[in-house]
Structure 1
Amino acid sequence: MARPGRRMIALVIDFVVCFVIYAAFFFGNPWASTIIFFGEQVVLIALTGSGFGHVLLGLRVVKVDGTYAGWWRPIIRTFFLILTVPPLIWDSDQRGLHDVFAGTVLVRR
């Protein structure tokens, strides 16, 4: 499993990438950055298992049993990630609540 520090750095990288896209094309739209982040996370995790930050830090999202996460798990995971509180609360396995609710885990490649 990926440790909290590595996960947080990956999240910051994803936020920065999404902010750059937002600033370049959608600056001033209050929902654009959230929609960009949601789309980036859902599409990339569903297709490749990793967002931009995950790729750079050698991480991937899988189901708890280690198999492909599918499409609906990244949607649930990202929805709760956007709420901000779930990623700050961890279970005994150090999984954020967004991963617990989605039945996923962030692991090292």
Structure 2
Amino acid sequence: MADTEGAEEAQFHYRGNRLGMPEHGPGSVPGIGRRLAGLMLDWLLCVLVISAFTGGSGGDAAETPFASSAALLLFGVYTALMLSVFGTTLGKRIVGVEVAATGERPLPWPVAMVVRTFLLCLVIPAVVYDPDHRGLHDRAAGTVSRRI
């Protein structure tokens, strides 16, 4: 087993090389900071939309007890829909990131985006990632984030 781990580590040179992606520039795997910035922009957009509909300020959860659940639901629907149709969301687009299939899972694209988004909303699968910076949500869906 140690030989297998050594061979796998020997193949790793930079994030994405084992997936045939370039080290830098368009098509390369973005860093965690860029991906997190896109996620935060998308979350902020969803919170602002929910706040506009509920009349809340967006900062006080006591004002609208269901606002955070509604924001999470909106975030999930928005993310799955945008990724299914465009391969990116507004926040991801602003920071220059898109989601692409790796071909390792035989899931249809919309199903993969729903699986990926559901696991992303659970948070833990997204913060556990491999040397290629693919979270468990990406691995389960057979996807990878890449720079535009």
Deviates more, 1:15-24 or 1:25-34: 25-34
Alignment of 1:33-44 (within 5 A): 33-44=71-82
**TM-score (ref. length: structure 2):** 0.67
Correspondence for 1:6: 34
**How many residue pairs get matched?**
106
Determine which of 94, 112, 120 is the counterpart of 1:73. 112
Cα deviations across residues 26-78 of structure 1 (Å, max 9, x unaligned)? Answer: 4522521111001110111101000111110111111014xxx7201110010
**TM-score (ref. length: structure 1):** 0.90
SS across alignment from 1:93: coil
Correspondence for 1:47: 85
| Structure 2: distance between partners of 1:96 and 1:12 | 17
Structure 1 runs not aligned, ≥5 long: none
Name the amino acid aligned to 2:33. Answer: G
| Structure 2: distance between partners of 1:86 and 1:7 | 15
| Structure with higher helix content | 1
**Which structure: larger Rg?**
2
| Structure 2: distance between partners of 1:101 and 1:23 | 32
Task: State yes or no: 1:86 paired with 2:125.
Answer: yes
Structure 2 runs not aligned, ≥5 long: 1-28, 57-63
| Structure 2: distance between partners of 1:5 and 1:87 | 13
Q: Report deviation, 1:92.
A: 2.1
| Structure 2: distance between partners of 1:5 and 1:96 | 14
